[in-house]
Structure 1
Amino acid sequence: MAETNISLPDAAFAPEGISHDTSGNLYVGSLTQGRIVKISPKTGDVTEFASAGANGLVTVVGVHVEGNQTFACSSDPGISALTGTAPAALVAFNTETGASTGRYPLPEGGIFCNDIAVLPDGTILATDSFVPRIYALKPGGDQLEIWLDDSRFAGEGFNLNGIAYDNGAVFAARYNTGTLHQIEVGKDGQAGAITDLKMSVEIHGADGLTALGDRRFLIVEGGGLSAGARGALWGATVSDGKATLEAIAGDLNVPTTATVLGNTAYVVEGQLDHLFDADNAGAADAYRILAIELPETFQ
C-alpha cells in the first residue's frame, strides 16, 4: 500500500468523517455538500459513493463502515448547501452499491448526530454533541433508542464526539473539554458506570477516536474552532482510570478523524476553523488526508 498523503480535488469538499472497508478503500463525508466519496489509498482515485442529499444527507459528520453496511451521521449545523432539507439522523448505505438501506432520525429532541461505533453484538452507537446522549440501533432494529443520557456531558458548544468500543467498555471523547470517558457495558448491553479518565496531557478539541485494542486508542485533537487553530494525533493508553497520551504527529491543519489500515493512520484535515469561525471564513487550504505511520506501541 502506498503510504502517501491524499489530496481531495474538490476545494469546497470540507471533509470530516472517515472509515474504510475490508478491501482497504476509504470513505469520507463532506460537511458542506452532503455526500460521501470512496477513495483508493493505493491510487488516490476519488469516486462518488453517496451523492449529495442521498438518503437525506445534509452535513456528513461521522462515517463508519461495518461489513456490508456503511453508516453516516447526518446533521445540520447550518454550513451545508443542503441546510434545512432533512432532520438529523443516522443513515445507512449498502457498502458495495451505495444504495440507501436505512434512515434513523434522532429520537426525543436529538440534535446533532456526530460519530459512530459498534458493540460486539452488532449494535450501532452514535453520539449527540448538543444533547448529552448516545443512541443505539440494535441489530434488526428500525429506530434509534437512547442508550445513555447523562448531564455530565451537557455544556456549551460541541460535547460528546468520537466514540469507540474496546474490551468491555465504550469510550467517548468530549470536544469542548478535551477529555476521554469510559462507559462500562453490562451483560445486557446497556450502559453502566462512567469513569471520567484523568488525562496525562491537556488537549484541545478531542474529536475522532479509534480503538486499537488492549485499551489503546488514537485521539485526533482538533485544536479548537478559532482562526489559526492547529491539531495533533495522539496515542492513548487507558489503565486504572487514567489516559496516558503519547504524541504521534503535531502541527496538523485542524484534523477531525482517523482510520487505520495496517500500520498507517489516515487522518482527515477538516479545517473546521474556516467553517465555524466567522472571522476566518475565507478559503481553506487544499483539503488532504494525511498518511501517518504509527509507532510500534500503537500498531
Structure 2
Amino acid sequence: MKLSHRTKKNLPAVALLALAASTTAGTGPATAAPVGPSATHTAAPHARISTAFTLPGERVYPEGIAADPRTGTVYVGSYADGTVYRTLPGRSRAEVFLPAGTDGRRTANGLRVDDRGRLWVTDSTAGVTVYDTRSGTRLARFDVLGSTPHFVNDVAITPDGTAYLTDSIRAVVYRVTGPQLATGGGVLHPAYDLTAKLTPIPDRRFSLNGITADPRGRHLLTVDMIAGELFRIDLHSGAITRVALEGGNLLNGDGIDLAADGTLRVVHNTTNTLTRWRTNGDGTRARLVRTLTDRSLQIPTTLTHTRGRTLVVRSQFDKGGPAGDNGDPTTFTIAEVRGL
C-alpha cells in the first residue's frame, strides 16, 4: 500500500491499521486470534461484551482512553478532530471536555491521567498537551520539532510522574520529567531509540505503538505492532531487550495495560482481538493465558482496566476513518468487557 506524504503525516492511525492488516493472512473480518496454531492459551468463552457508554457525534473515530483512578471519570480522544470526551461514573453518554482543535490539536491518540489529576493527550502531528482535569486548563505542552516525519502515539506515566511517549514512525520513546512539566512546556527529545532492536521488515513505515509502565517504576513495555514483538526498557540501566513471549505474539498490537499483579492486557486492532498475558516479576517474559476475538469490538485501538472492568475503544476505522468517511451517520461507543 503506497501512501502519500499527506496521508502518512496526517492520517497515520488509519494507515497503521491497513499496514498491520497486510501482515496477516487476511484483511476481512477476523475470525481467529493472532496466535499460532500451537499456542498454549485458553479462549474466553464466558467473556461478556456490552456497551459502557456512547460518544456524541457521528464522525468521532475514537482512539485513546484513560481513567482517573481517584474519581472513576473516563476520558476518550477522537482521532478525527482531537476532541476529548469525558464520562462521569454511572453515565451512559459522554460529554465534550475539550472541544475539537483545542490548543491547535488535530488528533487525540494516547490519553493518560496521572496521580495528580493531570490529563495527558498526545497529538500525532505535534506532541503532547497536559490539562487539569477539574478545569480543563492547559498546564503544559511539548512538541516534536523539525520536518522529519513523526507520529506521537501513546503515553505511559511512572510513579514518579515521568511521562514516556512512543513515536510510531521514528521508533523512539520520548520522556517528560516532573521538572520539565513544571516549566509549562518545551521540546520532546528521544530518551530511548529502539530502531536497532526492531526486526527488519521490508518497506516498514511504522513500529512502536502502545506503551505501559511497571507500577513500581522499574521498566516500560512497548509493542512493535508490525513484528508482533514486545520490548522492555529498563529505567535504571537504560537497557532495551525483547520480551520472551510464550504461546503467541502481539501482531497488530495497539494499546497495552500492565496491572500491579503482572497481568498484561493487549488490544489487537484489525483482528478484533483482546489478549491477556501473565508477565514474570521483572517483565522479561510473558505467557499468553486468554484470548477473546469478537467482531463486536469494531476494530479496538486501546483499553483501560479500572475498578474491575475493562473498557475498550471501538474505533470503527474499518468504516473509512476520517480519511475515507463515507458520510453515513455512525454511532460510536466504548465497550465494557468482563471475563477477559
TM-score by length of 2: 0.73
Cα distance in structure 1, aligned partners of 2:89 and 2:62: 16
2:292 to 249, 256, 261: 249
Deviations, residues 124-174 of structure 1 (Å, cap 9, x unaligned): 110000001000001020433321012134862431111111141110012
Structure 2 CA distance for partners of 1:287 and 1:58, relative to 1, 3 Å:
same
> In the alignment, is residue 150 of structure 1 matched against residue 194 of structure 2?
yes
Query: Which position in structure 1 is the counterpart of 2:26?
Result: none
- The question of whether the paired residues in 2 share the 8 Å contact of 1:218 and 1:234 is answered with yes
- The question of whether the paired residues in 2 share the 8 Å contact of 1:274 and 1:282 is answered with no
* Cα displacement (A) at 1:179: 2.0
Q: Which amino acid aligns with 2:292?
A: A
Query: Which position in structure 1 is the counterpart of 2:41?
Result: none
User: Of the two, which has the highest radius of gyration?
Assistant: 2
- The question of whether the paired residues in 1 share the 8 Å contact of 2:54 and 2:93 is answered with no
Q: Secondary structure at the match of 1:289?
A: strand
* Cα displacement (A) at 1:75: 1.6
Query: Which position in structure 2 is the counterpart of 1:266?
Result: 311
Q: Which amino acid aligns with 1:136?
A: R
Higher helix share: 2
Query: Which position in structure 2 is the counterpart of 1:235?
Result: 276
Query: Which position in structure 1 is the counterpart of 2:333?
Result: 288
- The question of whether the paired residues in 2 share the 8 Å contact of 1:147 and 1:191 is answered with no
Q: Which amino acid aligns with 2:189?
A: E
Cα distance in structure 1, aligned partners of 2:59 and 2:259: 32
Alignment of 1:184-203 (within 5 A): 184-186=234-236, 191-203=238-250
1:43 to 88, 91, 94: 91
Structure 2 CA distance for partners of 1:284 and 1:271, relative to 1, 3 Å:
farther
- The question of whether the paired residues in 2 share the 8 Å contact of 1:274 and 1:284 is answered with no
Q: Secondary structure at the match of 1:61?
A: coil
Structure 2 CA distance for partners of 1:279 and 1:145, relative to 1, 3 Å:
closer
Alignment of 1:151-190 (within 5 A): 151=195, 152-153=197-198, 156-166=204-214, 167=216, 168-186=218-236
Which stretch of structure 1 is more off in the superposition, 104-113 or 169-178?
Answer: 104-113
> In the alignment, is residue 54 of structure 1 matched against residue 99 of structure 2?
no
> In the alignment, is residue 213 of structure 1 matched against residue 254 of structure 2?
no
Query: Which position in structure 2 is the counterpart of 1:81?
Result: none
Structure 2 CA distance for partners of 1:222 and 1:34, relative to 1, 3 Å:
same
- The question of whether the paired residues in 2 share the 8 Å contact of 1:177 and 1:206 is answered with no
Structure 2 CA distance for partners of 1:6 and 1:276, relative to 1, 3 Å:
closer
* Cα displacement (A) at 1:4: 4.7
CA RMSD after TM alignment: 2.5
- The question of whether the paired residues in 2 share the 8 Å contact of 1:57 and 1:74 is answered with yes
Structure 2 CA distance for partners of 1:33 and 1:278, relative to 1, 3 Å:
closer
Cα distance in structure 2, aligned partners of 1:73 and 1:63: 7
- The question of whether the paired residues in 2 share the 8 Å contact of 1:126 and 1:163 is answered with yes
> In the alignment, is residue 69 of structure 1 matched against residue 118 of structure 2?
yes
* Cα displacement (A) at 1:13: 0.5
> Unaligned stretches of 5+ in structure 1?
77-87, 224-229
Which stretch of structure 1 is more off in the superposition, 101-110 or 115-124?
Answer: 101-110
Query: Which position in structure 2 is the counterpart of 1:83?
Result: none
Q: Secondary structure at the match of 2:103?
A: helix
- The question of whether the paired residues in 2 share the 8 Å contact of 1:117 and 1:165 is answered with yes
- The question of whether the paired residues in 2 share the 8 Å contact of 1:89 and 1:104 is answered with yes
Structure 2 CA distance for partners of 1:275 and 1:159, relative to 1, 3 Å:
farther
Query: Which position in structure 1 is the counterpart of 2:64?
Result: 17
> In the alignment, is residue 123 of structure 1 matched against residue 170 of structure 2?
no
Query: Which position in structure 1 is the counterpart of 2:153?
Result: 114
* Cα displacement (A) at 1:16: 0.4
Structure 2 CA distance for partners of 1:185 and 1:267, relative to 1, 3 Å:
same
Structure 2 CA distance for partners of 1:148 and 1:65, relative to 1, 3 Å:
same
* Cα displacement (A) at 1:183: 1.4
Structure 2 CA distance for partners of 1:257 and 1:41, relative to 1, 3 Å:
farther
Q: Secondary structure at the match of 1:5?
A: strand
- The question of whether the paired residues in 2 share the 8 Å contact of 1:159 and 1:174 is answered with yes
* Cα displacement (A) at 1:123: 0.8
Higher relative contact order (CA 8 A, sep 6+): 2
Query: Which position in structure 1 is the counterpart of 2:47?
Result: none
- The question of whether the paired residues in 2 share the 8 Å contact of 1:35 and 1:60 is answered with yes
